Amino acid sequence: MIEIPDLPTFDDVLVAAARIAAAVHRTPVHTCRTLDSMTGSRLFLKCENLQKVGAFKARGACNAVLSLSDTEASHGVATHSSGNHAAALAFAAGLRGIPAHVVMPSNSRAVKKAAVTGYGARVLECEPTLAARESMLAEVVRNTGAVFIHPYNDPRVMAGQGTAALELLAEAGPLDAILTPVGGGGLLSGTCLAAAGVSPGTAVWGTEPAGADDAFRSLQQGRLVPSLDPRTIADGLRTSLGERTFAIIRQHVRGIVTVSEQSIVMAMRLVWERAKLIIEPSSAVPLAALLERKLDLGGQRVGIILSGGNVDLEELPWATKTD
């Protein structure tokens, strides 16, 4: 078995919590009787949709940026992302007063670019291919000396994401299980570390769209099996696990369950209608798993991390009504 270097530990999550405390929100934990009775579980919704930049990604990005030495930080940070990590890194760099360079595919939505530039970052457009992204990022790093902060496969980012579960466990009291969505695995791996450290009896489950089920298959086969053609409305979950997130997840996670697109949309709508919270499709995946009865957690106290709330109000998945 190959040793993966630089894996974060529970202590790193604790240090991250102290480091980012003043930079991010301690988000509230909501409950909703209707969702409880529909699932048969007692749910505790950790509202990372109310986090800075509208997603838990602010935690990892802040932990990474704030842990740089002054010398490292002096040339700024860089990443490639078209999603919440881009905005989060821009936000974190702005807090520290250093430049952020974000490589985004040229077909990214204007509203996403505007969010990133709104936080003061420099956006560099590239062709919408992985090769183009990576070569432009390499060029940016070479030219500027900026530190690359990977969206998830970075121990500082993973430790930062784990602070959400730390707060959830502190606020909700004993939990039988915690469910998170899984894309690149930053949130799930951080949650694994936090739960193992604070509450080893709490089962941590990853939940994933069936159309982007690389975590499910990777766990099953015992090796990284990336999604080659991920298809899901949950745009935050189209990425595949990295070797660091996979190493932590395979060690700690109770399991990965997959859900249908239909369940994701239904769960998202339920949270909007009954919990009155704006969440993005990725955030709805854990609830979808409970509604699909993919997990048998009846009568249990279940934490769910509502990972983010950045959604295009012009294009809601239920807007294509037929009547």
Q: Which residue, 40 or 317, is less far from a copy of itself as judged by CB?
A: 317
Selected range binding a copy of itself among 65-73, 98-106, 168-176, 312-320, rule: CB under 8 A: 312-320
Contacting residue, 1, 2, 22, 313, with a copy of itself by CB under 8 A: 313
Please state the closest distance from residue 127 (CB atom) to a copy of itself, in A: 25
Please name the helix (run of DSSP H) or strand (run of DSSP E) that holds residue 78, with its range, or none: strand 77-80
DSSP one-letter string for 213-262: -HHHHHHHHTS----SS---S-GGG-S---HHHHHHHHHH-SEEEEE-HH
Contacting residue, 4, 7, 50, 123, with a copy of itself by CB under 8 A: 50
Burial group, residue 228, by CB count within 10 angstroms (0-12, 13-18, 19+)? exposed
**Rounded Cα gap, residues 72 and 216, in angstroms:** 37
Selected range binding a copy of itself among 44-52, 93-101, 180-188, 248-256, rule: CB under 8 A: 44-52
Rule CB under 8 A: say whether 236 interacts with a copy of itself.
no
Please state the closest distance from residue 266 (CB atom) to a copy of itself, in A: 12
Q: Which residue, 273 or 296, is less far from a copy of itself as judged by CB?
A: 273
Question: Would you say 87 and 53 are in contact if contact means Cβ atoms under 8 Å apart?
Answer: yes
Rule CB under 8 A: say whether 49 interacts with a copy of itself.
yes
238 phi and psi angles, rounded to 5 deg: -85, -15
- Kindly give, in sequence order, each residue whose CB lies less than 8 Å from that of residue 32, ignoring residues fewer than 6 positions away: 43, 45, 274, 275
Q: Which residue, 98 or 270, is less far from a copy of itself as judged by CB?
A: 270
Rule CB under 8 A: say whether 117 interacts with a copy of itself.
no
Contacting residue, 3, 70, 229, 314, with a copy of itself by CB under 8 A: 314
Selected range binding a copy of itself among 5-13, 81-89, 292-300, 310-318, rule: CB under 8 A: 310-318
Contacting residue, 8, 54, 60, 185, with a copy of itself by CB under 8 A: 54
Q: Which residue, 50 or 123, is less far from a copy of itself as judged by CB?
A: 50
- Kindly give, in sequence order, each residue whose CB lies less than 8 Å from that of residue 110, ignoring residues fewer than 6 positions away: none
Pattern of binders to a copy of itself over 255-294, x per CB under 8 A? --------------x--xx-xxxxx---------------
CA-based nearest residue to 104, from 145, 143, 133: 133
Rule CB under 8 A: say whether 21 interacts with a copy of itself.
no
301 phi and psi angles, rounded to 5 deg: -90, 115
Rule CB under 8 A: say whether 28 interacts with a copy of itself.
yes
Q: Which residue, 52 or 244, is less far from a copy of itself as judged by CB?
A: 52
DSSP one-letter string for 167-204: HHHHHH-S-SEEEEE-SSSHHHHHHHHHHHHH-TTSEE
Residues, the chain, total?
323
- Kindly give, in sequence order, each residue whose CB lies less than 8 Å from that of residue 90, ignoring residues fewer than 6 positions away: 100, 102, 116, 117, 119, 120, 121
Give just the sign of the alpha carbon dihedral 50, 315, 89, 257. positive
Rule CB under 8 A: say whether 8 interacts with a copy of itself.
no
Rule CB under 8 A: say whether 83 interacts with a copy of itself.
no
Q: Which residue, 44 or 205, is less far from a copy of itself as judged by CB?
A: 44
| Beta-bridge partner residues of 306 | 47
Binders of a copy of itself: how many residues, by CB under 8 A? 21
For a copy of itself, the binding residues (CB under 8 A) are 28, 30, 47, 49-50, 54, 269, 272-273, 275-279, 309, 313-314, 316, 318-319, 321
